[in-house]
Amino acid sequence: MQHFLDFKQLSDHQIQSLLGRVLAFSRRVDAAAHRQLLKGKIITNLFYEPSTRTRTSFEVAAHRMGADVVNISAGESSVEKGECLRDTLETLHAIGVDAVVVRHPQTGVLNDLLAEKAIDIALINAGDGCGQHPSQALLDTAILIAARGSLDGLKLVVAGDILHSRVAAANIQLLSRLGIDDIRLVGPTQLLPDVCPENVSLMTENFDAALAGANAVMMLRIQHERMDGLELPDADDYYQRWGLDESRLKLAQPDCVVLHPGPVNRGVEISNAVADGPQSLIRQQVVMGVPARMAIFHLLLADTNN
Ligand code: NCD
């Protein structure tokens, strides 16, 4: 396996073993052995969009596996001088980089690049426009398994800016592959897709109704940077209708867990009390980010090394 772009390219068996590996890495036994797994490898983070947790956790994951890491922000590289992505990747390959973690504002940018011509360096999608964010979906699914014991009976509400969210798209893709068929999408009509994605049981503006019987709810940030002129409700109206506070959370099952990929806009999509409350898994999601990215590196790079 050479690249990690989305879950379509993985077999069911590969998905299961990837998830198993995330959970195994999360136990942090054998840390010394992990540090040997990518010894001698060089990984570059190439980010054309801002990031805190994704970029840092890819970096920490690489360090925990003994790799060297080079970080590049597009604003500080030759990209500013007009260099195209392929030339940047070819340059990194020539320097000796083994894998590049790419975040880019253009949807499908890596798929398009590879369809045009192969590239001899492992590529990892860390978020492409409104496309996919597979490492986030991997960690979200791992945290749901860790928190609930399994995915059996999962009734997930995903709420917010579904239309522009690569986190929603990647989670729908992965959870569908894992047999989950009760996924409910909630948000203002203009932020819901025109066509209901496969395996989504409900698309609605009515958050309260969608929460009935739910045992997990994933809140999403409004992707202001991808609005393209779309009119949004004002912040107060948005919070009233699509914000998650304690009284709204009570409409779900009592053991309903709350996820958010971050960055969290407190008071816009979620209240402080819920974000920091006992049902929130937001902190644990961040923790799971590192083993999830270790498992991805392992899938692409470690087998050739050991
Ligand atoms: C998400 C992203 O970049 O898609 N953040 C993340 O990776 N944790 C979600 C967002 O920016 O809203």
Q: Is 134 in the pocket of ligand 1 (CB under 6 A)?
A: no
- Give the distance (Å) from ligand 1 centre to CA of residue 189: 21
What is the residue extent of each domain of the chain? 12-132+289-305, 134-286
* Tokens encoding 259: 């996820």
pTM above 0.85, yes or no: yes
CB-CB contact of 161 with 130 (8 Å): no
CA distances from 49 to 56, 74, 141, 291 (A): 14, 8, 24, 23
Q: Cα of 32 to ligand 1 centre, how many Å? A: 31
Q: Is the CB of 55 under 6 A from ligand 1?
A: no
Does the beta carbon of 289 lie inside 6 Å of ligand 1?
no
Give per-residue burial for 213-247: e unless 16+ CB within 10 Å, then b.
ebbbbbbbbbbeebeeeeeeeeeeebbebbbbeee
Q: What pLDDT, on a 0 to 100 scale, did the predictor assign at position 304?
A: 44
Which residue is closest in CA terms to ligand 1's atom 12?
A: 221
DSSP assignment of 60-113: HHHHHTT-EEEEEEGGGSGGGGT--HHHHHHHHHHHT--EEEEEESSTTHHHHH
Asked if 12-132+289-305 and 134-286 have one fold, the answer is yes
Ligand 1 contact via 54 beta carbon (within 6 Å): yes
Is the separation of the CB atoms in 146 and 288 below 8 Å? yes
Radius of gyration of the chain (CA): 19
Q: How far is the CA of 145 from the centre of ligand 1 (A)?
A: 21
Distance CA 13, CA 19 (A): 10
Taking the centre of ligand 1 as the mean of its atom positions, its distance from the CA of residue 273, in whole angstroms, is: 21
Terminal Cα distance for the chain, rounded = 15
Taking domain 12-132+289-305, whether its CATH number is 3.40.50.1370 is answered by: yes
What's the rounded Cα separation, in Å, for the pair 219 and 270?
Answer: 7
CATH number of 134-286: 3.40.50.1370
> Phi and psi (nearest 5°) for 204?
-155, 160
Determine if ligand 1 sits within 6 Å of the CB of residue 221.
yes
Cβ partners under 8 Å of residue 146, min gap 6: 23, 26, 284, 288
Instruction: Look at residue 231 in the predicted model and tell me its pLDDT.
Output: 87
Q: Cα separation of 216 and 148, whole Å? A: 10
Bond from prior residue into 263 cis (ω within 30 degrees of 0): yes
- Whether 53 lines ligand 1, by a CB cut-off of 6 Å, is yes
d(CA 100, CA 44): 5
Low-confidence ranges of the chain (pLDDT < 70): 303-306
What percent of the chain lies above the pLDDT cut of 70? 98
